[in-house]
Structures are given as structure tokens and as C-alpha cells.
Amino acid sequence: MRHLSNPQDRERLLRAILEHSEMGVWHADAKGRTLYVNPAGCRWMGVKRDAALLGRSYQEFVAPESWTGMRKEWAKRRQGIASSYELEMIRPDGRRINLLACGVPVPGSLPGAYTVVGLLLNVTAMKRTETELRRSEELLQRIVENVPAGVVYAASDGRIQRANSVAQEFLGLSYRKLKACFAADWNGTTLREDGSPFPAAEYPVTRCLKTGRAQGPATIGIRRPDGKVRWGYFPPPRRRNPDPAGAAARS
């Protein structure tokens, strides 16, 4: 690395990294006033050059919801401590962006003097995806809870992951107890229509999880913990994805 022993060479290397990195870099003084923002940071903030941000405090752009956490993080810089955190910022055009940030204090030439460099990763798209998935999951849960049939989801290893209220009543177990069960736990308590034992290895859900294909249907009698036998029709369950969703079975 002899060619980097020259300070000018090191400066050119640093400049190239800053200018072409996809990670945003925001440099501010001890009072939070902007000294430099690299092109990636400018792009995320919706400005063409950092001239639109120079001299302005980063505080102008921090969303109110992130203020409390941001103040705590900034206090760490005064103590010479670097840290990582998430925050939401509001661009000059009003759009909001989610960032994963790493704040690093940079000692100055005078005792107690410092500036702060923020390394920023734009996670807005990831946050949006997480929100959409959460909403989809909530919608699915509402649908499952309101269908007039028992619905059970099993993971790829057969562990029960979810069961609606109808399924809980049918099986005679609370949701908490069902979550601790595996499909194989009903082995010896299930019956075929002719009254003979129905082994767990032949359950439609077990075969579906093993083969990855829909199996069944089947009519199965289940002896509940209270001794009562309940009969249910189990249509062919289908895998939602390889792991962990497993299969759904209705009673």
C-alpha cells in the first residue's frame, strides 16, 4: 500500500469512496450543523447537491417520532461514544424516509472539540415491506378467526403454529396448549370412519408436510382430553411455503 502513503492519495481514495458509495454520509459539527453530505445522502434527501443542506441543522429533518431517541444518541457523541440506531427523517419535499444510522464522533484539533459523522443506510423499502406484511398477516388472522370452520396451521416439523377459536373448541384445547403440540401428539387418539385407529403418519397434514403436495380429504374422529370424540372432515391441506408455514387443515 506504498502508493497510499501520500496524504493526497489517501484523500483522493476517501473522496472516491464518499462520492460513489451507496451508503449515505452526513458530517455535522458539534451543534448539529451540516458540513457535508455525500451524493447518496443527497439523493435520499431529495436534493441535487449538499449546498441545499449545508449550514442547516440535522434537527430540521428528524421526524417528531424519532426526536426522543435522537437526542439520546446525540448525547453519546459528546461522551465520545459511537452507536447505531434507527430513525425517520423528513425530506425538504415532505417525504419521509427510514434510515439505519451509525453515528461516530470525530475528535477535533482542540481539546473537547469534535464533529459527528453519520453513516446512513436507507431502509425505507424494507420498512414498507414489513408494514405491508404485517397488515396482510392481520387481515389473514381476521379472516381465519371468522370462517365457520376450524383452521390449524402446522410448521414443517408438525408443530402447531396457529389455530382459530373453532379449532380450539373442536380439539378441546386452549390456544396456549395447542401451540405446544405437534401433529404427531394426536397419534393413538384418532379414528377412521370404521372405528379403527388413524395413525398420525397418515394424517393428511402429515403427508402434505412430508411430500409438499395436497393430501386427503379424510374424515377423522378425535378423542379430546375430556374423553369426548369429535368427528371432522379434513379437506386436502396445502403448504403455504416450505418453512415455517406448513399446512392448513379444517375441521
The whole-chain average pLDDT of the chain stands at 86
| pTM (predicted TM-score) | 0.54
Q: CA distances (Å), 57 to each of 26, 60, 131, 222, 239, in order?
A: 11, 6, 30, 67, 52
| Burial class, 116, CB count within 10 angstroms (exposed 0-12 / middle 13-18 / buried 19+) | buried
Superfamily of domain 147-250: PAS domain (3.30.450.20)
The CATH number fitting domain 2-127, selected from 3.30.70.260, 3.30.450.20, 1.10.3480.10, 3.40.50.720? 3.30.450.20
Strands 218-223 and 114-122: unpaired
Q: Which residues belong to CATH 3.30.450.20 in the chain?
A: 2-127, 147-250
Q: What is the pLDDT of residues 174-202, one digit of tens each?
A: 999 999 999 999 999 999 999 999 999 99
Q: How far apart are CA 17 and CA 162, in angstroms?
A: 48
Over residues 1-21, mean pLDDT: 72
More confident residue, 21 or 1: 21
Q: Checking phi first, is residue 132 left (phi over 0); if not, alpha (psi -120 to 50) or beta?
A: alpha
Contact between residue 136 and residue 128 where contact means Cβ atoms under 8 Å apart:
no
Task: Provide, rounded to the nearest whole percent, the portion of the chain with pLDDT above 90.
Answer: 52
Question: Which of 33-47, 100-114, 227-241 comes out lowest in average pLDDT?
Answer: 227-241
Paired strand residues for 159: 182
| Residue entry with cell 459527528 | 116
Helix and strand element counts for the chain (H, E)? 7, 11
Q: CA distances (Å), 12 to each of 8, 106, 137, in order?
A: 6, 20, 49
pLDDT at 173: 93
Q: How far apart are CA 176 and CA 160, in angstroms?
A: 10
